[in-house]
Amino acid sequence: MPESPFAIPSGNKPPFKSPFQSKGKQAVAISVGVVLLLLSSCVVVTQSSTVEPGNVGVKIRTLGASAGVDPEPLPARWYLRGIGERIIQYPVIQRTYGYTREADERGNENEEIAFSDNTGLPMTADISVTLQVNPASAPNLYQTYRLSFDQLLDGPIRNDVRSAVAAEAEKVGVETLYSGGRQMVIQKAYARVAGKWARHGVNISQLDWIGSIRYPQAIIQQMQAKTQLEQEALAAKALEAKETALANAAIAKARGEAESIRIKGEALRANPQVLQQLAIEKWNGEMPKVTSGGTPFVKID
């Protein structure tokens, strides 16, 4: 049977495509795109850091020819990190930290400072330190110690505070510390610590005791007994001074009275008519009932 001139040759027939097949390929392509977008977003999120306000960032590279600590500090903002890069943050605002026996915001560890006096008597105390990092010095600070700021506080800085306090406390006795000499000790320790850390760009503006020094109980009782004795001695001395003053006042009064009598006596001896006049003024007008035969004591001229 002859073929129709309008018939399509069997070898040139295009393949039949279902509309469902086209939509399926489009869905696959969209899904792949979404997955790639999500993966790229995850990479961006995991490879970014934010330097918080009040801090400065230090970038550390672990790969490539420029591996090491970037000498330029990073100001507070959002940063995209490359592969093998991380950012350490250092606070650059002034802060105060305490090395205490009790738990604080940095943990539950006992961080009290231990030291002794010139006889080796052990004691402990809580101490606070106020400090601030120079932003420009942060990269060099990390380059030197390879520690975060909290690690610096818990390690090198605390060790220097303890060493400085111990070095100054061992120059004096416990009585000096107990009676007010502890301020001299902490100020000298502060000079030691501040001088060292200033070279690293850390400004330590204050070092001070938190509360009282914790002495051994036997020393506290001894110091309290001594204080009581001193107070009693002062009270006795004050009482003695008071009694002496009263005695001196009585002596002065007696001397005054004696001197007054002497002056009156001399005046009467020099003027006997005064004595006669005094007797007349006191006489009630009656003569004595009993006399020895002499003249009355009142003589009227």
Q: Which domain holds residue 174?
A: 95-215
Position 234 in a domain: no
Instruction: Give per-residue pLDDT as tens, 250-270.
Output: 888 888 888 888 887 777 777
Claim to verify: residue 205 and residue 115 sit in the same structural domain: yes
Instruction: Give per-residue pLDDT as tens, 132-180.
Output: 999 999 999 999 999 999 999 999 999 999 999 999 999 999 989 988 8
Degrees (nearest 5) of the Cα angle 220, 209, 151? 125
Claim to verify: residue 142 and residue 210 sit in the same structural domain: yes
Which of 44-48, 103-107, 118-122 has the largest mean confidence? 118-122
CA 249 to chain centre: 53
In this prediction, residue 296 has a pLDDT band, given cuts at 50, 70 and 90, of low
How many domains is the chain partitioned into structurally?
A: 2
**The predicted structure's pLDDT at residue 266:** 78
Residues 6+ apart with CB under 8 A from 202: 131, 132, 133, 134, 137, 141, 157
Position 100 in a domain: yes
Rounded (10°) angle between helices 158-169 and 182-198: 140
Claim to verify: residue 124 and residue 182 sit in the same structural domain: yes
Q: Whole-prediction pTM value?
A: 0.61
Claim to verify: residue 103 and residue 207 sit in the same structural domain: yes
Position 285 in a domain: no
The answer on pLDDT for 35 being more than 90 is no
The strand pairing partners of 88, in sequence order, are 58
**The predicted structure's pLDDT at residue 136:** 95
**The predicted structure's pLDDT at residue 18:** 53
**The predicted structure's pLDDT at residue 40:** 47
- What percent of the chain has pLDDT above 70? 73
Claim to verify: residue 195 and residue 113 sit in the same structural domain: yes
Q: In angstroms, rounded to a whole number, what is the distance separating the alpha carbons of residues 127 and 118?
A: 20
Would strands 202-214 and 113-116 be described as parallel, antiparallel, or unpaired? unpaired
Claim to verify: residue 105 and residue 63 sit in the same structural domain: no
CATH of the domain at 130: 3.30.479.30
**The predicted structure's pLDDT at residue 46:** 52
| Type and span of the H or E element at 209 | strand 202-214
Per the prediction, the chain carries an average pLDDT of 81
Claim to verify: residue 189 and residue 118 sit in the same structural domain: yes
In this prediction, residue 123 has a pLDDT band, given cuts at 50, 70 and 90, of very high
Claim to verify: residue 131 and residue 209 sit in the same structural domain: yes
**The predicted structure's pLDDT at residue 41:** 46
Instruction: Give per-residue pLDDT as tens, 55-85.
Output: 999 999 988 888 999 999 999 999 998 888 9
Residues 6+ apart with CB under 8 A from 70: 58, 59, 60, 61, 139
